[in-house]
Structures are given as C-alpha cells and as structure tokens.
Amino acid sequence: MTYRQDIFAGRTALVAGATQGIGAAIANQLAAMGARVVALGLGPGDGTLDASVRTRQADVTRQREVDEALADFDRLDILFNCAGIIKRGQEHDPDVFQQVLDVNLTGTMRVCAAARPALKAARGCIVNTASMLTFFGGGLVPGYAASKGGVGQLTKSLAIAYAPDGIRVNAVAPGWIATPLTQALQDDPARAGPILARTPLARWGNPEDVARAAVFLCTPAAGFMTGVVLPVDGGYMVA
C-alpha cells in the first residue's frame, strides 16, 4: 500500500534541484505515485524527467526567485530539497566555501521558509537532502561537509519549529550514488575501489534507490516520523 500508484493522487509536490540525478528520480517517483509535480532547477536538465513533471527555472540562492516560484502554488503537500553543488579541492577557498553553503544549506532554508505557509495549509511534509558527510568529515570538501552537517541540524530544528503547523520535516542521507556529482569518483579506479570495498552491498547506489526511500517519508506509513535523517548508503556508515 505504501507504494501504490495513486497514493499521492490529488497532492502537489515541489522538488527543488530536480533536473538531474537524485532530484529527477524523486520527481519521477512522486509522479508515478499520482502527484502533480513541479521540478525546480537552473536549466533543462539531463532529459530524465518524466513528461508529466512540470519544470520551472529558479535559483535557490536568490530569494526573489524562490518567492516567485512558491507564489504559484495555491496548494503544496510535499516539498523536497535536492539542490546542491560540490567543488572538490576548491572548498578551502572561503569564497567557494560560502558559495557551497549558500546553495546547499541556506538555499534549503530559503525554500523551506517560503513553502511553509502553503505546507501549513495542507499539513504537508518536507524532505531535505543530507549526506554521509552529515556524519563524517571530508578533507577535500569542507564546504560540502559543513553544509550537509547543517542540513541535518536544520532538519531537526525545523521538525520542532514546524510541528505545531502539522508539517513533518525529515531528511534522506544518500551514500555513494552514481550521479553527475560523483562521476569523477566513479571514473577513478583509485577512488572507486576503496568506496566499493567499504560498502557492504558492494555497488554504487542509483538515484532510484534514494528516491524510493525518500518518498516513503512522505507516505502515511511515515506519519509519526519527523526530525529523522535516514541513511540510504548500502551499509557504508556501519562498515
């Protein structure tokens, strides 16, 4: 029943950062389960979005664009925050560090705050995108790691703050997923080998693995879950 095709019939969902990778997979999964889905992003994407998913361009670092995008919704039941960037090897530069935080962490907060009134009216839910680096450090990516640590704490804080509005707030924490953000690692045997060796399920995850777990957090089966940061990592964190 949790994954029946019509479970989100009559519901409206916004997925920020949905033009490729995990965000696109989540948008497609929501649409397959009956939701009306709007994918927010900076460009046309990689062509993986389902034809039923409506797209809109907006930059989560620009408050005006976020506000204008949310003003289009007379009803919003589900919000996913998937917008994110990573700048491996560059993030020790404070300007690059700030850029990564502005997209990954502050961008998430901008969208949550703008969506709150519509979500309150629908008693809806939010799912943010955390990471394994919510829990671990990353020597090459201090900005990304700091931003994802922040997303974890933001998720818990908003779960408390938004609970009186009837809004649940959770996050999914992907492990090593085969997306454009990890393509350089996938292509480097010296990096990919140790990653797979530590992952008990011994493979890269795919965006659909994350999407199915993330969408679960929006279903009635997760109705008493809020403030959760749910790892989807093939066992990497426990190895």
Neighbours of 76 (CB within 10 A): 22
d(CA 84, CA 81): 9
Burial tier of 133 (Cβ tally within 10 Å: 0-12, 13-18, 19+): buried
Burial tier of 10 (Cβ tally within 10 Å: 0-12, 13-18, 19+): exposed
d(CA 232, CA 134): 13
Catalytic residues: 144
Angle, in degrees to the nearest 10, between helices 207-216 and 21-32: 50
Neighbours of 109 (CB within 10 A): 17
**Chain position carrying tokens 């085969």:** 178
